[in-house]
C-alpha cells in the first residue's frame, strides 16, 4: 500500500478536485460544478491524494431498485499512472459497490483513454457496449467484470 489518501467528497474544494480530474480525463463530457453537486447526491464520489497532491478520483453509481448492477469508475491523472494508485482507488470503489449490494460490476471508459482500457482489461472487465453521446465523436465503452 502507498501513502495514498482516499476520501469521500465533502465540501467545495473536494468537489472542484473531483471535477478537475473528471474533466481532464473526459474532456468531451465537461461537467460544471453544479452538475458535480447534483452527481454527489446520487453517486458515491471520492478523491485521492498523495500528501496534498491530487492523484485521481472515483465514482460508484449504486445499484438501482430494479438491478443489482453498480458502476465503478476509477480515474488517475496521467502524471500519476503506472504506480498502483488506480488499483487502490478501484479496489476501494469495488468494496463500496459490494457494500451497497452490487452483484454485477460495470465500468465506463472513453475509447480514447487507452490507459483506462488496459487497466480495465487487466482487472477482468470485458466490453459489452460502445455508444456515442449526442455531439460526441469519441465513443464510450461500457464494460462488465467477468
Tens-digit pLDDT profile for residues 11-62: 999 999 999 999 999 988 899 999 999 999 999 999 999 999 999 999 999 9
Percent of the chain residues topping a pLDDT of 90:
90
Pairing state between β 104-110 and 69-76: parallel
Burial of 55 (0-12, 13-18, 19+ CB in 10 A): buried
Q: What is the pLDDT of residues 95-107, one digit of tens each?
A: 999 999 999 999 9
How many Å apart are CA 51 and CA 129, to the nearest integer? 37
Which cell is 143 given? 464494460
How many Å apart are CA 18 and CA 20, to the nearest integer? 5
pTM across the whole model:
0.94
How many Å apart are CA 22 and CA 28, to the nearest integer? 10
How many Å apart are CA 90 and CA 75, to the nearest integer? 9
Query: Does the pLDDT value for residue 1 go beyond 70?
Result: no
- Which of 3.40.47.10, 1.10.1040.10, 1.10.1060.10, 3.40.630.30 would CATH assign to domain 4-145? 3.40.630.30
Distances in Å between the Cα of 146 and the Cα atoms of 55, 86, 127, 129 are 27, 19, 10, 14
Output the CA angle 137-22-95, nearest 5 degrees.
115
Bridge partners, residue 79, by sequence: none
How many Å apart are CA 19 and CA 1, to the nearest integer? 26
Q: What is the pLDDT of residues 74-125, one digit of tens each?
A: 999 999 999 999 999 999 999 999 999 999 999 999 999 999 999 999 999 9
Measure the CA dihedral 6/34/19/43, to 10°. 40
Residue 100: its H or E element: none
Q: Average pLDDT of the chain?
A: 95
Q: Any idea where the domains of the chain sit in the sequence?
A: 4-145
Amino acid at each position: 500500500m502507498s501513502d495514498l489518501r482516499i476520501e469521500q467528497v465533502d465540501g467545495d474544494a473536494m468537489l472542484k478536485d473531483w471535477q478537475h480530474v473528471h474533466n481532464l480525463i473526459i474532456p468531451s463530457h465537461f461537467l460544471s460544478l453544479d452538475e458535480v453537486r447534483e452527481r454527489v447526491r446520487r453517486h458515491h464520489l471520492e478523491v485521492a491524494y498523495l500528501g496534498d497532491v491530487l492523484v485521481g478520483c472515483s465514482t460508484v453509481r449504486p445499484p438501482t431498485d430494479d438491478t443489482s448492477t453498480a458502476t465503478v469508475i476509477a480515474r488517475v491523472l496521467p502524471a500519476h499512472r503506472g504506480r498502483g494508485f488506480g488499483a487502490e482507488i478501484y479496489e476501494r470503489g469495488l468494496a463500496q459497490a459490494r457494500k451497497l449490494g452490487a452483484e454485477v460490476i460495470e465500468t465506463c471508459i472513453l475509447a480514447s483513454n487507452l490507459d483506462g482500457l488496459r487497466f480495465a482489461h487487466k482487472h477482468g472487465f470485458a466490453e459489452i457496449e460502445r455508444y456515442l453521446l449526442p455531439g460526441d465523436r469519441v465513443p464510450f465503452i461500457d464494460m462488465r467484470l467477468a
